[in-house]
C-alpha cells in the first residue's frame, strides 16, 4: 500500500537523498536546511553541515530560524569567524556542495533574491544574496530546492543575484577556479538538471502522480523533458517518520513549549 505524504515532503525527501554521506555541505536556511538535516538523520550521518555564520559540522536537534540561531553554535563541532568561513573553507575549495533556496529561478538556473520588478522601481524588495553568490561560484556544485510555480520559475529572472549559467547559458565558460554550478533543481513536482550542451534546465524525473502538463503549467518558459524521463522514488516510511519528528520538535521549541 502506498504511503500518504504531501508534495512538500516529497520535495524534501528527494532533496535530502541528493546528499551523499561524507559530503561537506554549505546549507541555506529554510527548505535546504530541512533537507540537509533530514539527510544527516537518515542515510548520510557523516555529512558535514556548515552554515554561513561560521558553524562547522553542526548537528541541530531542531531546524534553525536563521544562520544566527543559537542551536547551530551549540550543536557545532566548532565555530569560526565569518571571514575565515568564506576565505578558507569556501574559497579554499573545501565545500562539496552548496544547498540553496531562492525566490526566482530562470531557465539557466540563475537565482534572484534581490527584488521583483524593475530595479529602480521594484514591486517587492527581497532579502538579498547573503552568501549565496559566493557559494554558487566556489562550492563544487550547487543543489537548489523550491516550490514549483510560474511566479518562481520565470524565463528570465528580474535580477541575477546568484549566478547559475548566465543570461545565455555561457556565464561559466572559460572562467578558472569556479565550481560546476547548479547540477540539480528539486521542486515539489520534479527534478531538473542542466542540459550538458545548452545548460538550460531540463526535467529528468517526475514525482509520483505528477504529469508533464502539471510541470508545463507551473513553468514560465517552454520547459523541456529528458528523452528517458524517470519517476522519482516515493519517500519511505522511515524518512517520513524522521522528517515529521524533526518538524514537530522544531514547532514545539519555537512555540516555547
Kindly list the catalytic residues: 52
Which of helix, strand or coil describes residue 234? Answer: coil
Instruction: Report how far residue 25's alpha carbon sits from residue 87's, in angstroms, rounded to the nearest whole number.
Output: 16
| C-beta of residue 235 within 8 angstroms of C-beta of residue 8 | no
- Pick the closest to residue 202 from 229, 224, 170 (CA basis): 224
CA atoms within 13 A on the CB side of 16: 28
Instruction: Report how far residue 70's alpha carbon sits from residue 51's, in angstroms, rounded to the nearest whole number.
Output: 12
| C-beta of residue 203 within 8 angstroms of C-beta of residue 193 | no
Beta-bridged to residue 97, according to DSSP, are 25, 141
| C-beta of residue 22 within 8 angstroms of C-beta of residue 93 | no
Amino acid at each position: 500500500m502506498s504511503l500518504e505524504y504531501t508534495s512538500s515532503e516529497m520535495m524534501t525527501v528527494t532533496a535530502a537523498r541528493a546528499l551523499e554521506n561524507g559530503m561537506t555541505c554549505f546549507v541555506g536556511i529554510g527548505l535546504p536546511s530541512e533537507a540537509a538535516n533530514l539527510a544527516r538523520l537518515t542515510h548520510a550521518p557523516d555529512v558535514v553541515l556548515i552554515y554561513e555564520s561560521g558553524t562547522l559540522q553542526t548537528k541541530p536537534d531542531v531546524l534553525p530560524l536563521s544562520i544566527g540561531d543559537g542551536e547551530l553554535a551549540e550543536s557545532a563541532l566548532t565555530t569560526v569567524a565569518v571571514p575565515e568561513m568564506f576565505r578558507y573553507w569556501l574559497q579554499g575549495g573545501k565545500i562539496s556542495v552548496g544547498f540553496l533556496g531562492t525566490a526566482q529561478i530562470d531557465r539557466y538556473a540563475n537565482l534572484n533574491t534581490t527584488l521583483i520588478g524593475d530595479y529602480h522601481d521594484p514591486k517587492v524588495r527581497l532579502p538579498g544574496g547573503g552568501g549565496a553568490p559566493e557559494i554558487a561560484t566556489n562550492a563544487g556544485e550547487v543543489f537548489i530546492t523550491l516550490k514549483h510555480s510560474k511566479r518562481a520559475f520565470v524565463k528570465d529572472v528580474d535580477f541575477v543575484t546568484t549566478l547559475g549559467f548566465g543570461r545565455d547559458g555561457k556565464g561559466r565558460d572559460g572562467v578558472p577556479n569556479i565550481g560546476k554550478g547548479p547540477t540539480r533543481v528539486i521542486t515539489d513536482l520534479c527534478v531538473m538538471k542542466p542540459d550538458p550542451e545548452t545548460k538550460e534546465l531540463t526535467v529528468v524525473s517526475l514525482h509520483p502522480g505528477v504529469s508533464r502538463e502539471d510541470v508545463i503549467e507551473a513553468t514560465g518558459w517552454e520547459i523541456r523533458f529528458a528523452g528517458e524521463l524517470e519517476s522519482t522514488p516515493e519517500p519511505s516510511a522511515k524518512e517520513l517518520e524522521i522528517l515529521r519528528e524533526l518538524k514537530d520538535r522544531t514547532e514545539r521549541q519555537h512555540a516555547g513549549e
